[in-house]
Chains A and B, each alone.
Chain A
Amino acid sequence: MTAAIEATGVTRTYELDGVRVPALRGVSLTVPEGDYVALVGPSGSGKSTLMHLLGGLDRPTSGRLVIGGRDVSRLDPADLARLRNETIGFVFQAFHLLPRTSAVDNVALPLVYRGLGARQRRARAAAMLERVGLGHRLGHRPNQLSGGEQQRVAIARALVTDPAVLLADEPTGNLDSATGQSVLALLEALNADSGVAVVLVTHDREVAARARRQIVLRDGVIV
């Protein structure tokens, strides 16, 4: 198996009012294609920071980061945007759906930036919503959906571009446990069916245990 993402000695230091805050202090890890990784660690240990780096939303302060075979340090913001569009799907704790936009158009959003026509976008988005079990909610606005449904829409949006890696940062953090379980089951099924690699940040030991492997982060380093 080839690596979807490869990080070698990656650091990320924030600059806050002149104070340097080291969030990541030398992280090396590989996410092979089709992997299912759980990323655990206490709050403030650098999990979200690492997720942003792995997804090309942010750039390491130092170290080497290769996403989809491309070295991030050589890419400008426009190239990075394209890389995210083609290779990465994000799922956030806060869903981040556009409020005045229907489920199907929310899911179709990444395809807008591929220059696809409206009809094609809708068709692919509808098919994706079907796969996450929301084929009957295409025209609903986010405020007309439950939390679990909203997160399923967000998952459909992350996968509509057929990415190599899905990065989910505490995707069940805003859901009750039963709904959270069904969302996680969906992620596992999608990983098994379509072979998309999943990196999942979670606090739940049980959830983490179900992953193929676990990475524990503490104070910006893998332990």
Chain B
Amino acid sequence: MRLAEAWRVALDALRANRLRSLLTMLGVVIGVAAVVVLVAIGTGTKRKVESQVEGLGSNLLIVVPGQVTLGSAPSVSRLSLADVDAVSRVVGDRSRVAVTVASGELVRAGNRERFATVQGVLETTPAVFVRSLGRGSYLTRSDVDTGRRVAVLGAGVARAVFGDRDPIGQQVTIAGVRFRVIGVFAPLGQSLGVDRDGEVHIPVTTAHRLFGTTRIDGIAIKAPDRERINQLGDQVVATLRDRHPETEFSAVTQEQILGVLGDILGVLTGVLAAIAGISLLVGGVGVSNIMLVSVRERTREIGLRKAVGARPRDIGVQFLLEAVLLTSIGGAAGMALGVGTALVVQALSPIPAAITWWSLALAFGVSAAVGIVFGVVPAQRAGRLDPVVALRSE
């Protein structure tokens, strides 16, 4: 039998039981759509996180005490401003070095208050990280040198304590101490689950007095060029080890952070796809089931076809194509549904979704393969039917 003929016969058989075919396909449609949507969400999340890390600025080197491995508890920092000076000398340019010492504090203006991550920083921060101001101005070197009580508010904090009023020049209370607002950051949104509009920047010297500490949590360096970044990291770590022989230090680049995050989110995407794959498998079992019913219903037809010269293979191929047709049509519909759903999710919800060609190709390929895998048993059964018994069946 010619293959084109076999396709036609298979399509006819599906048409003969339109509703049943549609319901069987539905299982595959849902499975494929689930794979496409969940992979799109996983991929979208990964891309968003990556773009946020990249958006911190390029050629970044982040130096922290302790080992940077997943799941390890952060060590207590022994870094101080004297270490920052030493690092600045290694880098050769103080304006490329940023620091932070952070603490969660209550920020209040009048009777409105909000909890914020208050960071003691150098005036160099905007030169190291990409961070744009919405209004006002950033801290200056003299603010840092003289320990002025001035603050730059994140957009979320400004909104929470000042509402629609212009905060520039207004007073806020941070941990009970009065500060003057000199700037407000442009809104940023969420990054890695952290509300980045909930930050408040104050001079690091002021922060040390306020928090009653001299420690620095971490140092960030903007390397002059990409090639020297790892070498610079080694130099900085070596310098800090000399100053604190008992402490380990690590320097990580953005690329390394991206690598780790990418791995985690890649696994997450894989797990989501696997879960969706289970529903595709269930759809496949449905196909298998219906194909067995179809073989039973058409036993006499099989007997007749054999009587007029159909080989076992001809019959097997006919039923296999029927199963593959079921799952491929279901797969194509599922792809359309999945893409549509992902676009709606992307447009109407904060969940990012990115459709990738490989997930479409994979979902469709898997659904066709499901047709083959779950169609083989019914098809073989049909092919092996004894023609005499088949013709006698009712």
Residues of A whose CB lies within 8 Å of any CB of B are 52, 55, 57-58, 77-78, 81-82, 84-86, 90, 92, 96, 98, 100, 109-110, 112-115, 117-118, 157, 161
Contact = CB atoms under 8 A, between A and B. Distances in A.
Interface of B: 1-2, 5, 12, 16, 300-301, 303-314, 386-388, 391
Contacts of A113: 1, 305, 308-311, 314
B297 to A, nearest CB: 12
Contacts of A115: 1-2
A57 B388 contact: yes
B5 A77 contact: no
Contacts of A109: 304-305, 308
B393 to A, nearest CB: 11
B1 A112 contact: yes
Nearest to B305: A109
A55 B2 CA distance: 25
A78 B312 contact: yes
B263 to A, nearest CB: 53
A84 B2 contact: no
B313 A78 contact: yes
A117 B3 CA distance: 11
A52 B1 contact: no
Contacts of A81: 306, 309-312, 314
Contacts of B309: 81-82, 84-86, 110, 113-114, 161
A29 to B, nearest CB: 19
Contacts of A55: 307
A100 B9 CA distance: 11
11 contacts: A78-B312, A81-B309, A82-B309, A84-B307, A96-B300, A98-B301, A110-B308, A112-B5, A113-B1, A113-B310, A114-B309
Contacts of A77: 311-312
Contacts of B2: 112, 115, 117
A142 to B, nearest CB: 12
B16 A98 contact: no
A52 to B, nearest CB: 5
Given A77-B312, A82-B311, A96 B304 contact: yes
Contacts of B306: 57, 81, 84
A98 B318 CA distance: 15
B304 A78 contact: no
Given A96-B300, A100-B12, A115-B2, A90 B388 contact: no
Among A78, A112, A115, max chain B CB count under 10 A is at A112
Given A58-B387, A78-B311, A113-B1, 9 more contacts: A78-B313, A81-B306, A81-B310, A90-B308, A98-B304, A109-B308, A110-B309, A112-B1, A113-B310
Contacts of B12: 100
Nearest to A83: B309
A65 to B, nearest CB: 15
Among B303, B314, B387, max chain A CB count under 10 A is at B387
A161 B301 CA distance: 19
A131 to B, nearest CB: 18
Nearest to A55: B307
B374 to A, nearest CB: 24
A109 to B, nearest CB: 6
Contacts of B301: 98
A169 B14 CA distance: 32
A92 B308 contact: no
Q: Ordered nearest first, which 7 A-B pairs have the shortest CB separation?
A: A85-B309, A110-B308, A113-B309, A78-B311, A81-B311, A96-B304, A57-B387
A78 B388 CA distance: 15
Contact of A52 (B5, B300, B304, B388): B388
